[in-house]
Amino acid sequence: MDLQIAGKRALVTGGNKGIGRAVADVLADEGCDLVLVARDKPVLEEVAQSIRTRCQVNVETIPADLSSEETVKKVAKEAGDIDILVNNAGAIPVGNLLKVDNGTWRNAWDLKVFGYISMCREIYPSMAARKSGVIVNIIGAAGESHPAAYIAGAAGNAALMGFTRSLAHGSHNDGIRVVGINPGGIATERQEMMARSRAEAQFGDPELWRDIYKSNPFGRAGTPDEIANTVAFFASPKSSYTSGTILTIDGGRE
C-alpha cells in the first residue's frame, strides 16, 4: 500500500534505537525525509548513514538532550518546517512511590513528559500556519494499566494521554491531527536487558530471556516494527480522519 507520505519531512525523537529507529526506518522506506534527534551522536549518525545507504531520502541528525526546554527550542528551529512529528524520546525508571525519589521523578518527566509537550509547542505553530501536520506521541500502556511498581511511568503516560487528547480536541481547527500509541511489552534493547535480568533471577540463565514473554499474548513480545508500521499509517492520508485517538498495541493483554 502506498501511504502517500513520500517527500514529507518527519522529525523523530529518540530516533537512534528501539521503537524510534524502527519508525525512522519505516518512514524512510515510505520516502519521508528525516530529522533524527537523540543524545548519542555516534549511534545517531550510524543509524542515519544506514538509512541513507538503503533509501534515497535526506536524513539529518541533531544530537540533543530534550529534557531542556531551551534545547527543544534550538532543535525545533534547526529542524525547520516539519510535516510529521513523532515524539518518542524518554524512558522513565521503574519503582514504587517510596523507591522513586523526587529528583529521579522530575528528571524523567523533564524528558518524557515535558519534552513531548515542549516539542509540540515548538512545532505546532508552523504546522498550523500551513494548515497541515500530524503529531504522533509514542506513550506507553502503563498509562492505562497503572502498575504500582512503575508509578512514575504510569502517571507520566497517563498525563501524556490526556495531553494528546486535549491537544487533538482543538487541533483540527488548524488542520493538524494528533494521535497517540501505547506500546506494551515491545522487545526493544532496553526491554531485552530487563528481561535478561529477570531470566537470570528466575531461571539462572539470562539467555532464557525470551521465556519471560511466554505468558504474553501469542507467547512473545511485540516488535518495534509493529509499532513503527502503525505510526506510518497514522501519519498518512490513509488515516486522515483519525485524531484524538490513542491506540494500545499490546497483543490484547487483559
- Alpha carbon of 46 to those of 10, 76, 106: distances in Å? 18, 22, 31
pLDDT of 211 higher than 90: no
Among 6-10, 49-53, 193-197, name the one with the lowest average pLDDT: 193-197
Confirm whether pTM is higher than 0.85: yes
Among 69-78, 193-202, 221-230, name the one with the lowest average pLDDT: 193-202
Q: With pLDDT > 70 as the criterion, what percentage of the chain qualifies?
A: 100
The C-alpha atoms of residue 217 and residue 214 are separated, in whole angstroms, by 8
pLDDT of 246 higher than 90: yes
Cell of 129: 500556519
The C-alpha atoms of residue 246 and residue 154 are separated, in whole angstroms, by 15
CATH of domain 9-186+224-249: 3.40.50.720
Mean pLDDT of all residues belonging to the chain: 94
Question: What residue ranges of the chain are covered by domains with CATH 3.40.50.720?
Answer: 9-186+224-249
The C-alpha atoms of residue 213 and residue 176 are separated, in whole angstroms, by 37
Give residue 240's identity as a one-letter amino acid code: S
Cell of 60: 539529518
The C-alpha atoms of residue 167 and residue 179 are separated, in whole angstroms, by 9
Q: How many CA atoms lie within 13 A of 16 on its CB side?
A: 18
User: Confidence band (pLDDT; 50, 70, 90) for 194?
Assistant: confident
Cell of 122: 515548538
Using DSSP bridges, classify how beta strands 176-183 and 133-138 pair: parallel, antiparallel or unpaired: parallel
pLDDT given at position 205: 86
pLDDT digits (tens, 9 = 90+) for 68-122: 999 999 999 999 999 999 999 988 988 999 999 999 999 999 999 999 999 999 9
pLDDT given at position 254: 59
